[in-house]
Amino acid sequence: MNNYSELINGLFDKDNKTAYKCLKELLSDSEKGSDVYQFFDIFAEMIDSDNSYVRTRGLLLISANAKWDTDYKIDEIIDKYLSHIMDDKPITARQCIQALPNIAKYKPDLAGDICVALSKADTQGYADSMRQLIQSDISTALKKIKGGIAMTWKKPEFELTAFLEQLVKPYQCEKKQMFGFPVYFVNNNMFTGVFEDGIFLRLAPDDKAEILREYDEITPFTPLGRTMKEYVFVPESYFESSDFCDKWLGESYKFVSSLPIKEKKAKK
């Protein structure tokens, strides 16, 4: 078993070769299990460092631990993370961009924000040689996020998307597209949406526990094998009951409306 305290301290070593060796070991262990995730807060602090090498190491380790982020810590720092798409140091910017598809893979609820940030990136401030490389990185990342994930999911039937559109009419929400699926947001927080042949809902913990106890065919929402903490997946047939719709869409809307408003980023 690795001595993680030594490896974490090694990330800040003035000898970049030593620091890189520690980074490689931590990245390797992050691929195998969740032991490194306990140091997430340190990685989040690293991306604020004045040292671009330290920033880069933090960005890579955050991405590598996206699959273990059951505490939604990446959600809390995603805006700060995305700001490094345009890092002062082009090498750090490139590493950030190249790490984003992995975050989108395990944090699909953040994929829309990631794609928007990549699409809006202005590379004019970089030298010509680096600008072309960064633009290529952005293009590749967007293709991986939009294409790679979309290919793993079955496209929904038109009738299902139209059905949900009618169901949410009584609620003040905004429709967006995520990988070909219609998803509805309240104050920029995800509310409900279509996924393959069913509909997902976002619920408070007690409500989620209740609906899972009450209905056998309703399950935790696990796109790409990762359980999304506040979400359940509901077969379309349940929404044929007006009582079910009134109760559970209403509870979902009430919960999401109570969440802090996510401010949209100002256009640069």
Gap between the Cα atoms of 216 and 223, Å rounded: 19
Does some domain include residue 116? yes
Query: Are residues 162 and 142 both part of a single domain?
Result: no
| Residues 168, 140 within the same domain | no
Rounded to the nearest 5°, which phi and psi values hold at 255? -65, -50
Q: Do 232 and 115 lie in a common domain?
A: no
pLDDT in tens, 80-92: 999 999 999 999 9
pLDDT per residue over 126-165, tens digit each? 998 899 999 999 999 998 887 655 445 566 667 888 889 9
Residue 34 included in any domain: yes
| 139 in the same domain as 21 | yes
Q: What pLDDT, on a 0 to 100 scale, did the predictor assign at position 263?
A: 66
- Looking at the fold, whether 165 and 222 belong to one and the same domain comes out as yes
Secondary structure class of 232 (helix, strand, coil):
strand
Please enumerate, as own/partner, the contacts of 136-144 that have beta carbons within 8 Å and a separation of 24 or more.
137/94, 137/97, 137/98, 138/85, 138/97, 140/98, 141/97, 141/98, 141/100, 141/101, 142/115, 142/118, 144/101, 144/104
Asked if the structure places residue 266 within a domain, the reply is no
- The confidence score (pLDDT) of residue 107 equals 87
* pLDDT, position 148: 54
Number of structural domains, the chain?
A: 2
Q: Residues 118, 167: one domain?
A: no
Rounded CA-CA distance 30/24 in Å is 10
Closest CA to 47 of 125, 123, 99, 1: 99
The residues of the chain scoring below 50 in pLDDT are 150-151, 265-268
| Residues 120 and 104 occupy one common structural domain | yes
Q: How many other CB atoms are found less than 10 A from the CB of residue 153?
A: 15
- Which two tokens mark 152? 């793993």
CA 195, CA 229: separation in Å to the nearest integer? 16
267 domain residue, yes or no:
no
Please state whether the predicted TM-score (pTM) of the whole model is above 0.85: no
Q: Residue 268 falls within a domain, yes or no?
A: no
Residue 163 domain-assigned?
A: yes
Instruction: Find the CATH number of the domain harbouring 169.
Output: 3.90.1150.30
Q: What is the domain extent for residue 219? A: 158-258
* Any domain includes 72: yes
Boundary of a domain, candidates 151, 173, 199: 151
72 and 110 inside one domain:
yes
**14 part of a folded domain:** yes
Q: Are residues 216 and 130 in the same domain?
A: no
Q: Which of 127, 151, 175 is where one domain is finished?
A: 151
Q: Please give the pLDDT value at position 242.
A: 87
**Where a domain ends, among 151, 171, 187?**
151
